[in-house]
Amino acid sequence: MFTLSGVNSSPVLAAEDGSYATPGVASEAETNTSAFLESFQIQPPGHVKPLRFGGLLTFAGAAGRKDATGNEAGFDVTDARLLIAGELEQGFGYLAQAEFTKSTPLLDLILNWKSTEHGFRASAGYFRTPFSAELLIPAPELDFLNRSQIVTALAPARQIGIQLDQRILGKALVVHAGVFNGNGLDVNDNDRFLYILRLDGITDCGENWELQYGINAAHSDDEDASIGISDYSPLNGKRWIAGGDVRATRGPLFFSAEALWGFFDDESFRNDHVWGYQASAGWQVTSLVQLLARYDAFHAGDLDRVQDRDLAIASVNLAFTKIISLQFELHVPTRGVGPSPGGVVNLNATF
């Protein structure tokens, strides 16, 4: 995958400086920007900081069975994004992002207001919902090339709605609550909503250990709603989803895990559930080489049209410079599909 990026989406936790990032977008303190972008500054009237620009171009290649890689063998252009974000007076801000590989280019459109003093932020628009730590990580900053199977299947992804974020114990506990249409970018055509609550935080455990953690839950009563399980989309009925995640980091090492569970009471398939998890580890061997491993499990439960699938994934990331990196992944099915492995190679340029 070839990636060009400037300002990227990120988790909705507060930044180190106490400010809040827009949902799905990094705060300025978290942004990895090249000297070129830093020198390219425009500050229109009414803005307290220069505009932030970003882009993402992705060229991906895969070989092997789709059951193993998640992609058809061959090459593809999966991303062509442009982003602009601004900070206005009195704590207001906005962000717009387009994805030109989609028939509907709008990817994010956010208006927000924040109070750094009180640790509060309110956001409205179309953006990633506060559900699942891995969902909230921007694509160029993911540990692996793709999010886990269960996150892709259950996390509500981008929705139209409103979200409130409140710091309770500094970075140690942040509450995120949102009400959304529940049917993606479509206009809500009924009086039903998707309700989401997430609690997360970051704690310094001493001896160079940092612990990140979160729990989340969501409920909706849907009518023709798109979900990540294509064989059961659109959904007509009730859904409950819940889960938790943790990530421990010490120097060059990290360990992470996330588990999600979903229950559906649809008009055509009643009382069905799915669940799954991922467990991952990574080691930054040198400034050039990072080694990663993951076990990615998806259990279809009572859904007879969906097959269980477990994958063992090994990855090598090579960071040649701060901009250029190369990623190799090997996917080996261990349950639910044939034994044939698959591979993915991505070339990234991030600035």
Give the Å distances, CA to CA, from 42 to 35, 81, 85, 296.
15, 20, 11, 44
Provide the greatest CA pair distance for the chain: 60
Give the span between the Cα atoms of 296 and 68, in whole angstroms. 11
Q: What digits encode the pLDDT tens for the residues 127-175?
A: 999 999 999 998 778 899 889 999 999 999 899 999 999 999 999 999 9
Query: Does the pLDDT value for residue 92 go beyond 80?
Result: yes
Q: What digits encode the pLDDT tens for the residues 15-42?
A: 433 344 545 443 333 334 444 455 568 8
Residue 140: φ, ψ to 5°:
-70, -15
Per-residue model confidence (pLDDT) at position 147? 93
Per-residue model confidence (pLDDT) at position 348? 54
Q: How many residues does the chain have?
A: 351
Cβ pair 59, 4 in contact under 8 A:
no
Q: Which residue has the higher pLDDT, 65 or 16?
A: 65
Q: What digits encode the pLDDT tens for the residues 165-208?
A: 999 999 999 999 999 988 878 777 677 899 999 999 999 998 88
Per-residue model confidence (pLDDT) at position 338? 54
Query: Does the pLDDT value for residue 85 go beyond 90?
Result: yes
Specify which residues 110 forms β-bridges with: 95, 125
SS3 270: coil
Q: What digits encode the pLDDT tens for the residues 268-302?
A: 655 678 899 999 999 999 999 999 999 999 998 76
Q: Where are the domains of the chain?
A: 28-349
DSSP state of 67: H
CATH topology of domain 28-349: Porin (2.40.160)
Q: What digits encode the pLDDT tens for the residues 211-235?
A: 999 999 999 987 777 777 766 667 7
Query: Does the pLDDT value for residue 3 go beyond 70?
Result: no
Write the DSSP string, 208-223. TEEEEEEEEEEEEEEE
Cβ pair 159, 186 in contact under 8 A:
no
Beta strands in 28-171 (DSSP E): 52-64, 74-87, 92-99, 106-115, 120-128, 158-167
